[in-house]
A and B are shown apart, each in its own frame.
Chain A
Amino acid sequence: MPLVEMEINGKKMSSNVEERQLLVHFLRDDLNLTGTHVGCDTSQCGACVIHIDGHAVKSCSMLAIQANNASITTIEGLANENQLHPVQEAFKENHGLQCGFCTPGMIMAAVDLIKRKPVLNEKIVREELEGNLCRCTGYQNIVKSILAAAEKVQA
């Protein structure tokens, strides 16, 4: 099996992977980083969103081997010690979740969004959540959380 090297949440690592192993399964099954979720089998739901070299991607639609030499951030890598990331904090404060299954992907997508578009409004947030499905909340509090986080990051 080919060897891959990556930096994951700030730590360098190397491992052998099967060519056909998806990145999300490598993270979850091999590295035990189970915060990244698999919510569908069709690349639609966005529960598996992580950052590769600073950009949000769906880790279920990428092979682990494609991420060779990449720098990866997963939901586990967002918080600083015991200090939640402002987006995590905002989801907590605004009750931006119900069952929580989509939340890691939502938060990773939101962090990427706020970085790309620091000035947000409700319409933009709803459009930008195109790649993330939530089947509980109706998105209301997710949108609220992201707007609150964006404001906090800006301040």
Chain B
Amino acid sequence: MYQFNYIKAKSVEEASIALSNNPEAKILAGGMTLIPTMKQRLASPEQLIDIRQIEELKFIKLESNNIIVGSVSNHFEVYDSEIIKEHLPVLSRLAENIGDPHVRNMGTIGGSISNNDPTADYPAACLGLGAIIKTSKREIEAEEFFIGLFETSLEEDEIVTQVSFPIIKNSCYMKFPNPASRYAMAGVFVSKSDEEIRVAVTGAGENGVFRWKEMENALSNDWSVSSADSVRISPDGIMSDIHGNSDYRANLVNVMATRAVENLINEH
């Protein structure tokens, strides 16, 4: 690992100032991507600003019809939260299936979405539920937040502070995990509220997480398994790598989407 200097921020304000003072600095939350990346010398920040123990970022609360998760909440805390289990169990289950137990004890929701790995789970939940991401500067809708591969609309000196998920009971996340890494080979998040149906796909898109509009339209016209089954995603724009080519992944997306809809219809 290359040399760097380290500061532990006590507040969001302190972290923001440090970050704007040094364009070569990086925010360190759980470090479950950043540290392995630095070990491989694929990243060499000049400074790490550790925000993992900032108290004001560590909370999970219920506010009107939203679950609000502080950005340094780790995956185990999200899985284990009684509030989330009761009001938005889909999020608890999603967190329960990220990585492995040791990673879940360190990795954070803010880190995951800021990194925007195209195979990460949380981006699908954000887009699939229509979450609002609050930062040290502003509020950003999920659609505006996730831009592309490992790319978000965060500015250089902006830090995610919380994620607000609308409580949509009728929602399901189906993931086909890579058997080795548990990253999504394809993950489909479907939610059905009084206003709209959302279908978000992770693990598959060449530009990262995306909303699958054709499926949303088909399900809005006819909320049924056969309707879900009738829509096929084009392999164009679907990732192809050693774990699976785009045809295979596109098929996984179809299957995961149908299973999610099936699950929702059977449950209710």
Contact = CB atoms under 8 A, between A and B. Distances in A.
A22 B34 CA distance: 13
A109 B3 contact: no
Interface string B203-232: 000000000000000000000000000000
Interface stretch (B97-105, B119-127, B145-153): B97-105
Contacts of B5: 19
A95 B76 CA distance: 31
A66 interface: yes
Contacts of B106: 57-58, 61-62
B101 A113 contact: yes
Contact of A43 (B6, B36, B50): B36
A131 B98 CA distance: 11
Contact of A56 (B6, B8, B99, B105): B105
Interface string A1-38: 01000000000000000111010000000000000000
Given A19-B4, A20-B4, A68-B8, A131 B101 contact: yes
A14 to B, nearest CB: 16
A131 B103 contact: yes
B31 interface: yes
B35 interface: yes
Contacts of B99: 130-131
B2 A20 contact: yes
Given A109-B101, A132-B100, 5 more contacts: A56-B102, A56-B105, A62-B35, A65-B8, A66-B50
10 contacts: A19-B3, A22-B1, A43-B39, A55-B76, A58-B102, A58-B103, A61-B31, A61-B32, A65-B6, A131-B101
Interface of A: 2, 18-20, 22, 41-44, 46, 49, 55-58, 60-63, 65-66, 68, 109, 112-113, 116, 128, 130-132
